[in-house]
């Protein structure tokens, strides 16, 4: 914004005596950026660059297979998995809203194994004054025993047990920065020449669904977007746009 416009619209706008005067400030518009999207082949290469039985690889499979945000994946609890209906409930997501996403059939066996690991740790931890999990004050009020029940345990647990003020050992969820570093290292090993972060898999999830012909309203619901305009950004990076355009350079090459 030019300085003259700033001074005329903001600086000269004085507050009233009751300090409730209105400032007609002009909001800066965010620039529209095209998201980074991986191809199907690049996703496969990156997954293969991670240990097959690692929790981090399972988390990446959930990011890509369900379109989850990083913290949504980290904070999943065992109770959020519904194997019978092949769905995952994402609770208290962005905007304090819950939504239902698909549970990939290919990931179901490994998810069951992860639940088994969490259960075994939950049974072993009481021997060292552990077996507890942090819950919100609201949950603690509604369900006083939640902090020691299996269904409230985090699916992707931290390997470090922390003690609360009462000395009880609690298992928090995996730290998002650890997964971010793991993804960056795997991208380098896979020789992917793009800036890859955990959120890249959410972008790839949406783009690949649209390329497969799924309705954009379905994709909007799975991503949890409030406005369709937010989901529309993925139509700009599709390999199969609604209107196929041939480059004039390709026509020129065909004439030769």
Residue labelled with tokens 């600086």: 11
To the query of whether residue 112 is one of the catalytic residues in this protein, the response is no
- Per annotation, catalytic residue among 56, 57, 202, 203: 202
* Positive or negative: CA dihedral 206, 211, 212, 215: positive
To the query of whether residue 199 is one of the catalytic residues in this protein, the response is yes
- Per annotation, catalytic residue among 69, 77, 154, 203: 69
- Per annotation, catalytic residue among 45, 91, 94, 110: 94
To the query of whether residue 33 is one of the catalytic residues in this protein, the response is no
The residues, any chain, with a CB within 8 Å of residue 66's CB and separated by 6 or more, are 73, 88, 101, 102, 103, 104, 205, 222
Q: Is residue 212 helix, strand or coil?
A: coil
To the query of whether residue 141 is one of the catalytic residues in this protein, the response is no
To the query of whether residue 202 is one of the catalytic residues in this protein, the response is yes
Residues 184 and 85: beta-carbon distance below 8 Å: no
62: phi then psi, degrees, rounded to nearest 5: -75, -40
In this structure, the number of other CB atoms found within 10 A of the CB of residue 159 comes to 9
**DSSP label of 30:** P
To the query of whether residue 154 is one of the catalytic residues in this protein, the response is no
What distance in Å separates the CA atoms of residue 55 and residue 37, rounded to the nearest whole number? 23
The residues assigned a catalytic role are: 69, 94, 199, 202, 225, 234
């Amino acid at each position: 914004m030019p300085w003259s416009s700033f001074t005329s619209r903001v600086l000269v706008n004085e507050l009233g005596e009751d300090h409730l005067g209105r400032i007609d400030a002009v909001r800066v518009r965010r620039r529209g950026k095209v998201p980074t999207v991986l191809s199907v082949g690049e996703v496969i290469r990156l997954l293969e660059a991670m240990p097959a039985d690692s929790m981090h690889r399972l988390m990446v499979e959930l990011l890509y297979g369900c379109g989850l945000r990083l913290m949504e994946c980290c904070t999943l609890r065992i109770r959020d998995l519904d194997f019978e209906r092949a769905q995952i409930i994402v609770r208290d997501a962005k905007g304090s809203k819950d939504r239902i996403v698909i549970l990939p059939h290919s990931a179901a066996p490994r998810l069951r194994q992860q639940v088994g690991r969490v259960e075994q740790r939950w049974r072993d931890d009481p021997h060292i004054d552990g077996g507890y999990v942090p819950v919100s004050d609201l949950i603690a009020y509604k369900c006083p025993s939640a902090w020691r029940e299996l269904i409230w345990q985090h699916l992707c647990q931290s390997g470090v047990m922390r003690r609360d003020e009462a000395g009880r050992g609690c298992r928090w969820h995996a730290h998002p920065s650890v997964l971010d570093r793991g993804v960056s290292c795997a991208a380098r090993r896979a020789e992917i020449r793009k800036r890859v972060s955990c959120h890249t898999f959410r972008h790839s999830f949406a783009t690949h669904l649209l390329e497969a012909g799924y309705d954009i309203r379905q994709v909007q619901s799975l991503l949890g977007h409030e406005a369709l305009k937010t989901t529309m950004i993925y139509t700009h990076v599709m390999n199969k746009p609604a209107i196929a355009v041939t480059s004039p350079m390709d026509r020129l090459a065909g004439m030769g």
